[in-house]
A and B are shown apart, each in its own frame.
Chain A
């Protein structure tokens, strides 16, 4: 064994710099406590420290960093939404994504592929034109394209989809991209840690102390902390945290499953989505096909996998790409999606002073990671909602002013 390796192995102090520090104990008080060390929570911590100078921050994670939906999504980044609120918000996110690897000094494998949302019906074509016009109005590159354009871009695809769902056209969104999702969490985590933020894994929040309508502290499995501000960024666990502060929201939890094939030679450059077939698929840099479908059909707080899902999704994949018949599915998994009735998130201030929410991210949260961090750090630092999230506050329901984003959900849920 080489001497250097032996010295490395026996060294008490790890000689390589780690991505973030490990802290043996919690401090008695922090300026901000962020619940959830996923992409959203760590991004908020990063921008709080970098842009707002708030560094006495603890990020509490009951599992491990990026182990929730940050590590379970299908990594698609796009901004071809339907409502003006949505398009502006996600477009800002796509802009932030493009500089992120430089910000972090970490390769995110950010890869702009182009994104096709296939239309199999006249009604779907109409929605594509609508989305394209809204997008163009806000300067987002999207256009409705015809079947000939799709065939030229994807000669390997069966344009008739097995004869039962012929492709009439698509919404083509040129900036559509994929990125390595773990690296996003690690990049934000390292950036926040270097600026003084403490990341505490294996630390579960068991209660939130509210006195006189204000947050005063957080109870955890490793002791109590005093803090005036708490940001909740826990995706599928949001209702359980909301119970601790006595807030009610429309959020309901359904599992969302995904699967990945064995690696094959690169053949699929763009990202393909079909709402009618309930499929979205892209090929990673390693050659695996990452595939997802619609939500599981009923409420469940468990990340179990089902055979129904693999069977259904595989059947639809074969409608599009019959030559994949011999390709094996390598893995499948599930995440807990916190769904809202209008398919838009619930963000910002709440009736409990000092308690901020970044939730309702259902099946569309990964692409929004940077802009959520930006806007939520602003909201937490100033106590006022960032203008970009005005359409996403929890007060919209009481006023029946929903932000109807369902038409732009990647598949019909």
Chain B
């Protein structure tokens, strides 16, 4: 085996400041005539410079550079709307480029529904500064006061004198602004950002933002012209596959090969084994040969410690946890003592997978001056740094280019495909394309962690919530990838601190209600010995919605109140009340006590309501379901989802995000659970990990509560907790019994139904 750092050194990778040779040309639209061509230098470009964000071309179009990637959620369109609005340009005049560590600004990860919430303001500021600079240029040209200028579609004219007009392209086409953003306004967790001193356009004058503009990415997706990472082919490349045990084993044990029988693939033409540390891959000239080689390669893997497949939740509760008091408001204990009624129970939620519809894929070319990697990462700069760390080179010697793959809903398999491709390309000295097989993706995902909750809440004799307590057990996730760990022979420790979602999310656990006392405690379970975890869309909020909102519903039932009326009575703010009312009105909610219409019919029907969010935004949902009392099958018939995400930049995109969230939540509520035996994960494909199918899909009615004067907040995951809650509460309405564990499979439903006392008629 070659010593990789020497191999790299021989190829001149470590030379500083060498010219960048990219074997790939259809990547970046270069701003013509700009003094330093984009792509020549390792990024990130300076976020304080307008030129890092915007280039105006001679034909009066603009290229907008931003650091949030299109994952199919439609953020490209919305970000262009934001830039175009401040610049007074129309959509047809705007273009964006792929994310690229030599080209686009570092705006952090495209995660936590941050594209518009956190990615929008700096872009808006840069566009406002650019517009001011253009006005200054026009004012100087016409020798008039800036205040006398008006702008239409990127043409600046002197008011009342239409002959005096000039386009942006004529003013600055393909030249740099050389203007800095001013007025510091840090925007964590993205790198330090600086906002515009230039005036921002008042929302009352908006013509693009707030409009349901068709998505710019859809036409090319529909005519199959859109180039996805899986479509890329490099001259002279080999096809690679990773070779891992089928299904991950206990976290911390790695994947250690005791022996690798290279002769076992000797009959496959051109196939060979590539190793670095414990990492094993195969390469071949033909893709099908690589697939066969990965399947056929005989490896004896070292035994690993057993997984707690008998009772995961008992193991979590019994583990040595670290406690964090997330919220401690008022005197909870006294509140419960004073309560006229209280309700409480233990709730359980499973490991669930990201499982992008196209498994991860990446291409790497380490044969030139730099390692160039194309992949579908959610954060190009972080991927660049991890590749550099594994290869033992400086970050500047790695260039990562984003190509869209399938929606990933969190970071599926992190940078594993990109790292595998880079390792293999260095080793074989040729470009390598790595495509994960379905079992690699299912079996080695960083799953959304399982969750165990003890929840209770209490009310006074008037039905006012007075005490609330949530204890949650879960593990977190690591910052680094499986391939990083096995190639370097390390176990990356769990991340601590940072995202709210590693500790119990305080916003999703009771924050929507007026509560004089509330306590939320996080019990951090060590991940070692369990499965790899990561943030899965609306991380753990489905659990919080399931547990917390069923508890609220139970109290409404105790005092024989309609669940909507009970929530209205106890709601904590206008914005929560407004989404609640919006969803109630749209679903034509009629007031009645839950489970007050039970029958002995074979098909029981029920409806439920719930609130929830992830961060900042406000979500409410209503579900109508049917329960087959003979088979235990639940059918979600209709869902209504209301979302207040502040200013919805593109309401139809927000609507499609609401629909997607609610369908995905239905799938996770009813079907999804990562299964494992005492050794490894056994959910390795769509049969062993069923998801919601076409014919099982509910009708979904999305409602956007538009707030033109509020800052935009997240819209990609904030109605999922509410949806889970509504489905669970609808189950109680239909059956008179509660589900305390999901997914709500037929078996679990039959078990729960068996415990109920059958009503008469």
Is the pairing of A and B real? no
Question: Which residues in A have some Cβ–Cβ distance to B below 8 Å?
Answer: none
Interface on B for A, CB 8 Å cutoff? none
